Amino acid sequence: MGARFSFTEVALANLRVYDVTPGEVWEALHSSRRVIRHLGDDVTVVYATARRGRRLAVLLAEADGVDTDWEILSARELSDIEAKRYDEAVRGFRR
């Protein structure tokens, strides 16, 4: 995944709905504890932890078909089931 991310106005509105800050999204996207799932040709979800320990799901879309540019669509806190699966996946990184 590329390192260039951008927030659209719609994305910022979605973050407010889920009470997630742009800073938390930025921290999660640059976390060393990320789990990346490709949902389609140009849509990806990143499960990660922000610095204060909040676990987030960040939905991204490839910007204009460019592999290194991503638009942040939304972000929310992980559900209990997602958090459990994320914790299991992250534990697997340490082995």
The pTM (predicted TM-score) of the whole model is 0.86
| The token pair that represents 28 in the structure block | 């999660």
Considering the segment(s) 4-93 as one domain, its CATH architecture is 2-Layer Sandwich (3.30)
Does residue 2 register a pLDDT over 60? no
Per residue in 27-78, pLDDT (tens digit) is 999 998 899 998 887 889 999 999 888 999 999 988 875 566 889 999 999 9
The DSSP 8-state label assigned to residue 78 in this structure reads: P
Q: Can you give the pLDDT at residue 91?
A: 86
